[in-house]
Amino acid sequence: METTITQDIHRSKSLSDFIQKVELTNFQPLFSEQKRTNSFKLLSQLQFPTTKDEAWKYTRLGKISSGNYQLQEGTKESIISELIENLEGTILVFVNGKYAIELSKIHPEVGVSISPIHRVDKAWLEENTSIGKNQEELFLLLNDYFAQDGVAIEIEKNTQSTQTVQVLNYITENNSLVATRNAIVIKEGASIELVMSYYAENETSSFSSHITEITIENNANFTLHKIQNENSANLTIATEEIKQGKDSTITLHTYTLNGGLVRNNVYANVNGQNSESNLYGIYLLNEKQHVDNHTTIDHQVAHCLSNELYKGVLSDQSTGVFNGKVFVRKDAQKINAFQSNANVLLSDLASMNSKPELEIYADDVKCSHGSTTGQIDEEAIFYLRARGISEKNAKLLMIDAFIGEVIEKNTNSLVKDKIYSLLQNKQEQL
Amino acid sequence: MQEEHVVAEKVSPYNLKIPMGYTENELAQDLQNQEYKFGFTTNIESDQAPKGLNESIIRFISAKKEEPEWLLEFRLNAFKTWQLMSEPTWAHVHYSKPDFQDIIYYSAPKQKKKYESWDDVEPEMKETMKKLGISMEEQQRLTGTNIAVDFVMDSVSVATSFKEKLAELGIIFCSFSEAVKEYPELVKKYMGTVVPTTDNFYAALNSAVFTDGSFCYIPKGVKCPMELSTYFRINEGGTGQFERTLVVADQGAYVSYLEGCTAPQRDENQLHAAVVELIALDDAEIKYSTVQNWYPGDKDGKGGIFNFVTKRGLCEKNAKISWTQVETGSAVTWKYPSCILKGDHSIGEFYSVAVTNNYQQADTGTKMIHLGKNTKSTIISKGISAGKSHNSYRGLVQIHKNAQNARNFSQCDSLLMSDECGAHTFPYIECKNSSAKIEHEATTSKIGEDQIFYCLQRGISEEKAISLIVNGYCKEVLNQLPMEFAVEAQKLLAISLEGSVG
């Protein structure tokens, strides 16, 4: 017995300890007991990755692994002001990871089924979750174990949905552990747009695990706007696993405005010819915020296009990470893949680590990547000041122009307006 | 006046007389010689250590070289560290790991006595050098030729030319073991300061078993009047080559250093693990050029050299280090010539062309560590992959907190010549200073069909057209090479890509 105890001390960062520490009050697991037992078994053999793991070289998880978390109940009384007004469509609200029926509103439309995922039948859940093998096993298993709810969307064949679905995740309590699992299936020739926003009440702390699995069938079209605007004590690991069919298009906008530690993993498996993948992102960081964008675009077949544009502004002691991978598999000829990452550092204590990677196994391709890190052009500031614009406003103008390039990629004007209004608040802090 | 005559007749390490105005046509003719032409072995008796690696082998090497106690200590410490280390696996290459107990760590051409002058060198040895194009006799005849060569075969330095002439200026250029004997205080002061024994697996191995190499010291304010060159040759089978090069440029000094290498064709994989340390003190400049042409293995990927090299330079205030490399050989290359920009206003440069064909694998790039203020670095890397080869660029640009106004520009282009090869880019960009400016860009593509079509239309054959385009693509790097190497390199590029397009 004694030996096992000492062993446990040595493995204090082991996941089984982490899991057992979590208080499960009123827990309604999404997945079956069998699946969860299995996940737990696998998890207890794993440990949180350290900076020695290549994928986590610049992101430390100590804050997450040392935290004490609880599954929290909580309510939010009034309609939440964070919702985008005038946007027509279904609204699903999750408070601390649980479905808040009183705040949600289903907008009925033919061919479009949207519901909280705990209500869908087991077979559908089984079929449309854990669809890819790219995700890091540990965080997938962790989500399997703790997930309570999320959103399930299925768009029937050839349905061009006119609504924009809004999913709002809100954290109200301290030490919350939030795990959501979203499954989205866009059938052949169908299309829809979705806004997923993440907010937290001031001075709450949390650890969130969000996994969104997206299947886009042939000739389908999907746009996802992700707005991350939590607080400095909210830690998030979010993953989008995307499967793309022939002639399909995915556009993913990631707006990271606030968050203590935000890790975004995007895996796009492009497995149909003539498809298009667009990943756009901005991150504006201050204080000690840390944002880590990891994207992987895996071109498995020929004649595809991918665009990636990520821009960041970092001030105070914030740190940013960008790791973009583009794979072009053997025989995936005629691929055009473009990747770009640009950063502005506003303070000497801020730091940026960028790692754009290309791995190419086919010859008839056009692939490029670029990465820059610098500061606001002094001469441009001087030009503006000479014309009577204060230094502060000149700076803001330059930042606006810098990240504006990414925001203008968004074609939904209501979402765009919301981003601009959120940006105004954020820029004051930079 | 005399200089001009000499340039026209300059002898290159590849046995090519380089006339002025070398044209594409001549290049095409040279192309016909397409096999690896340095695949011969020289029948020279050699003095070998038994296979394997342990403390007694290290003591044996040290005793053989009549080394002082401190150097033996250095070796043994390195060996201890090495035993605790494991082979790096992060590089994008796949190969069967060498068995470190199956390598002969010391092999020297059997010398009857110490060479006092050129005339004492055995005829077989002279013949080898001649085949390789390092005809010292010829060089000696041509007074005023401006390359001094140190020739390292298997493990030991065989001959060094132009010693006296350099000595007049106070320049020390000799084999490493000679430097240990003659200038121990210099060697002791600088060895291991840029690449510590604990740096990595192969650097530690090298520090434990290195057998020879070159040492060069340029005194204060001296501009070295000729290009210094080291020539490496692996001759014996079953051996590994572990040499060390140490170049120190004192304040305000300048030196241009060339390095070339070849090996016989063998079915086995031979290991080459070298360490190169450059130290540029205040206001000094070192230009280090490499044309690496180790045996790459045959077209089925059998044999070839494992080239696991650690190269690093340290720049003090206002100093400049420039690495230029043309990598065409080796079965597996693992090489990252780096610059530590410690002094304010120092400059680091890296120009590289890496060509892989058949089953060759290369994982190469650079590290630019910006520590001082106003430091600048430039990285130009051109990768060309053909056949079933894999070519990766892996680089690190690191701007530290106090590196105000640091500036970096990186460009890494890859050219794909077949549908079975791979080209990869893994740049790491780490910035901790807000006044730094870093730019990185990379492209991957193949030779445009329209470009080929344009050439064909004008009566240039496809093969010639490709050679033309490839040379144009590499021009930025080739322009950095000294004249005698540049033409060589162009030719080597063409030979390496021979048969890769169809």
Q: CB-based contacts of B501: which residues, under 8 Å, 6+ apart?
A: B386, B417, B418, B462, B463, B466
Q: CB-based contacts of B182: which residues, under 8 Å, 6+ apart?
A: B172, B174
The pLDDT-based confidence of A71 (bands split at 50, 70, 90) is confident
Nearest to B241 by CA among B264, B266, B210, B197: B210
Write out chain A in H/E/C secondary structure.
CHHHHHHHHHCCCEHHHHHHHCECCCCCCCCCHHHHHHHHHHHCCCECCCCCCHHHCCCCCHHHHCCCCECCCCCCCCCCCCCCCCCCCCEEEEECCEECHHHCECCCECCEEEEEHHHCCHHHHHHHCCCCCCCCHHHHHHHHHHCCECEEEEECCCCEEEEEEEEEEEECCCCEEEEEEEEEEECCCCEEEEEEEEEECCCCCEEEEEEEEEEECCCCEEEEEEEEECCCCEEEEEEEEEEECCCCEEEEEEEEEECCEEEEEEEEEECCCCCEEEEEEEEEECCCCEEEEEEEEEECCCCCEEEEEEEEEECCCCEEEEEEEEEECCCCCCCEEEEEEEEEECCCCCEEEEEEEEEECCCCCEEEEEEEEECCCHHHHHHHHHCCCCHHHHHHHHHHHHHHHHHCCCCCHHHHHHHHHHHHHHHHHC
Q: Say what the pLDDT of residue B445 is.
A: 82
Q: What is the mean pLDDT of residues A241-257?
A: 94
Q: CB-based contact (8 Å) between A326 and chain B?
A: no
Q: What is the mean pLDDT of residues B241-253?
A: 89
Q: How far apart, in whole angstroms, are the C-alpha atoms of residue B405 and residue B256?
A: 28
Backbone angles phi and psi of A27, in degrees to 5: -85, 125
Q: Say what the pLDDT of residue B13 is.
A: 39
Q: Say what the pLDDT of residue A114 is.
A: 92
pLDDT (tens digit per residue) in A382-428: 999 999 999 989 999 999 999 999 999 999 999 999 999 888 888 88
Q: How far apart, in whole angstroms, are the C-alpha atoms of residue A314 and residue A186?
A: 36
* Least Cα separation, residue A156 to chain B (angstroms): 39
Whether pLDDT at A75 is above 80: no
Q: What is the mean pLDDT of residues A80-100?
A: 86
Q: Say what the pLDDT of residue A48 is.
A: 86
Q: Say what the pLDDT of residue A387 is.
A: 94
- The distance of Cα B452 from the centroid of its chain, to the nearest Å, equals 33
Residue written as tokens 């990185």? B440
Whether pLDDT at A4 is above 60: no
**A215 is written with which tokens?**
């299947």
* Least Cα separation, residue A340 to chain B (angstroms): 9
The pLDDT-based confidence of B138 (bands split at 50, 70, 90) is very low
Residue written as tokens 């892996």? B394
Residue of B nearest to A342 (CA): B439
Specify the pairing of strand A98-99 against strand A91-95. antiparallel
Given an 8 Å threshold on Cβ–Cβ distance, is A360 in contact with B416?
A: yes
Q: How far apart, in Å, are the Cα atoms of A325 and each of A130, A330, A340, B363?
A: 21, 16, 11, 17
Which H or E run includes B259? strand B254-262
Q: Say what the pLDDT of residue A267 is.
A: 93
Q: How far apart, in whole angstroms, are the C-alpha atoms of residue A215 and residue A223?
A: 12
Q: How far apart, in whole angstroms, are the C-alpha atoms of residue B204 and residue B208?
A: 6
Residue burial B40-62, b: 16+ Cβ < 10 Å; e: rest: eebebebebbeeebeeebbeebb
Backbone angles phi and psi of B97, in degrees to 5: -60, 140
Using an 8 Å CB-CB cutoff, list residues of chain B that contact chain A: 90, 92, 399, 401, 414, 416-446
Q: Say what the pLDDT of residue B247 is.
A: 92
Q: How far apart, in whole angstroms, are the C-alpha atoms of residue A257 and residue A229?
A: 5
Angle between helices B55-64 and B69-84 (to 10 degrees): 150
Q: How far apart, in whole angstroms, are the C-alpha atoms of residue B395 and residue B399?
A: 13
Say if residue B450 is exposed, middle or buried (CB neighbours under 10 Å; 0-12, 13-18, 19+): exposed
Q: How far apart, in whole angstroms, are the C-alpha atoms of residue B316 and residue B155?
A: 32
More confident residue, A3 or A305: A305
Q: Say what the pLDDT of residue A409 is.
A: 92
Q: How far apart, in whole angstroms, are the C-alpha atoms of residue B58 and residue B52?
A: 10
- The size of the A-B interface in CB pairs under 8 A is 117
Whether pLDDT at A103 is above 90: no
Q: Say what the pLDDT of residue A278 is.
A: 94
Q: Say what the pLDDT of residue A67 is.
A: 82
Whether pLDDT at B211 is above 50: yes
The pLDDT-based confidence of B111 (bands split at 50, 70, 90) is low
Q: Say what the pLDDT of residue B368 is.
A: 94
The pLDDT-based confidence of B49 (bands split at 50, 70, 90) is confident
Q: Say what the pLDDT of residue B88 is.
A: 83
Q: How far apart, in whole angstroms, are the C-alpha atoms of residue A394 and residue A388?
A: 9
The residue range of the domain holding A11 is 2-429
Q: Say what the pLDDT of residue B45 is.
A: 61
**B351 is written with which tokens?**
């120009």
Whether pLDDT at A110 is above 80: yes
Highest mean pLDDT: which of B226-230, B416-420, B421-425, B472-476? B421-425
- The distance of Cα A257 from the centroid of its chain, to the nearest Å, equals 12
Report the percent of chain B where pLDDT is more than 70.
75
Whether pLDDT at B119 is above 80: no
Q: CB-based contacts of A187: which residues, under 8 Å, 6+ apart?
A: A154, A155, A156, A157, A158, A159, A217, A220
Specify the pairing of strand B407-416 against strand B367-370. unpaired
Chosen from A358, A365, A368 to mutate, greatest number of chain B CBs within 10 A:
A358
Nearest to A244 by CA among A221, A226, A225, A224: A221
Nearest to B393 by CA among B371, B415, B372, B370: B415
Q: CB-based contact (8 Å) between A364 and chain B?
A: yes
DSSP calls for B101-138? TSSB--EEE--SS---SGGGS-HHHHHHHHHHT--HHH
Whether pLDDT at B69 is above 70: yes
Residue of A nearest to B386 (CA): A363
More confident residue, B119 or B431: B431
Residue of A nearest to B394 (CA): A357
Q: What's the start-to-end Cα distance of chain B, in Å?
A: 47
Which H or E run includes B228? strand B227-233
Q: What's the start-to-end Cα distance of chain A, in Å?
A: 54
Q: How far apart, in Å, are the Cα atoms of A237 and each of A87, A142, A176, B29, B97?
A: 27, 11, 14, 61, 38
pLDDT (tens digit per residue) in A274-284: 999 999 999 99
* Least Cα separation, residue A292 to chain B (angstroms): 13
Q: Say what the pLDDT of residue B11 is.
A: 36
- The distance of Cα B477 from the centroid of its chain, to the nearest Å, equals 15
Asked if residue A93 lies in contact with residue A100, where contact means CB atoms within 8 angstroms, the answer is yes
Among candidates A357, A363, A369 on the partner chain, residue whose Cβ is nearest the Cβ of B419: A363
Highest mean pLDDT: which of A24-33, A181-190, B172-181, B182-191? A181-190
The pLDDT-based confidence of B16 (bands split at 50, 70, 90) is very low
Given an 8 Å threshold on Cβ–Cβ distance, is B444 in contact with A360?
A: yes
∠ CA B353-B367-B319, nearest 5°, is 95
Q: Say what the pLDDT of residue B142 is.
A: 37
Residue burial A291-314, b: 16+ Cβ < 10 Å; e: rest: bbbbbbbbbbbbbbbbbbbbbbbb
Any idea what DSSP says for residue B331? Answer: S
The pLDDT-based confidence of B19 (bands split at 50, 70, 90) is very low
Nearest to A300 by CA among A278, A267, A272: A272
Specify the pairing of strand B156-160 against strand A160-171. unpaired
Q: Say what the pLDDT of residue B276 is.
A: 92
The pLDDT-based confidence of A299 (bands split at 50, 70, 90) is very high
Q: How far apart, in whole angstroms, are the C-alpha atoms of residue A327 and residue A270?
A: 10
Report the percent of chain A where pLDDT is more than 70.
96
Other residues' Cβ atoms within 10 Å of the Cβ of residue A372: 19
Q: Say what the pLDDT of residue B38 is.
A: 61
Q: Say what the pLDDT of residue A154 is.
A: 93
pLDDT (tens digit per residue) in A209-244: 999 999 999 999 999 999 999 988 899 999 999 999
More confident residue, B431 or B227: B431
Q: Say what the pLDDT of residue B156 is.
A: 56
Whether pLDDT at A1 is above 60: no
> B426: which chain A residues are within 8 Å (Cβ-Cβ)?
355, 357
Q: Say what the pLDDT of residue B123 is.
A: 64
Residue of B nearest to A319 (CA): B432
Q: CB-based contacts of A188: which residues, under 8 Å, 6+ apart?
A: A157, A158, A217, A218, A219, A220, A245
Q: Say what the pLDDT of residue B139 is.
A: 46
Q: CB-based contact (8 Å) between A53 and chain B?
A: no
Given an 8 Å threshold on Cβ–Cβ distance, is B433 in contact with A345?
A: yes
Chosen from A286, A318, A361, A365 to mutate, greatest number of chain B CBs within 10 A:
A361
Q: What does the mean pLDDT of chain A come to?
A: 88
> A355: which chain B residues are within 8 Å (Cβ-Cβ)?
426-429
Least confident of A7-21, A378-392, B469-483: A7-21
pLDDT (tens digit per residue) in B270-303: 888 889 999 999 999 999 988 887 888 877 778 8
Q: What is the mean pLDDT of residues A182-188?
A: 93
Indicate the number of domains in chain A. Answer: 1
Q: What is the mean pLDDT of residues A194-211?
A: 90
Given an 8 Å threshold on Cβ–Cβ distance, is B424 in contact with A359?
A: yes
Q: CB-based contact (8 Å) between A334 and chain B?
A: no
Q: Which pTM value belongs to this model?
A: 0.82
Least confident of A371-375, B94-98, B262-266: B262-266
Whether pLDDT at B121 is above 80: no
Which H or E run includes B260? strand B254-262
Nearest to A39 by CA among A29, A26, A51, A27: A29
**A340 is written with which tokens?**
């770009």
Nearest to A135 by CA among A237, A4, A38: A237
Among candidates A363, A371, A373 on the partner chain, residue whose Cβ is nearest the Cβ of B446: A363
Asked if residue B414 lies in contact with residue B383, where contact means CB atoms within 8 angstroms, the answer is yes
**B83 is written with which tokens?**
């035993």
Among candidates A54, A365, A371 on the partner chain, residue whose Cβ is nearest the Cβ of B445: A365
Q: Say what the pLDDT of residue B251 is.
A: 92
Q: What does the mean pLDDT of chain B come to?
A: 78
* Least Cα separation, residue A321 to chain B (angstroms): 9
Specify the pairing of strand B367-370 against strand B376-385. unpaired
Q: CB-based contact (8 Å) between A372 and chain B?
A: yes
Which H or E run includes B217? strand B212-218
Q: CB-based contact (8 Å) between A348 and chain B?
A: yes
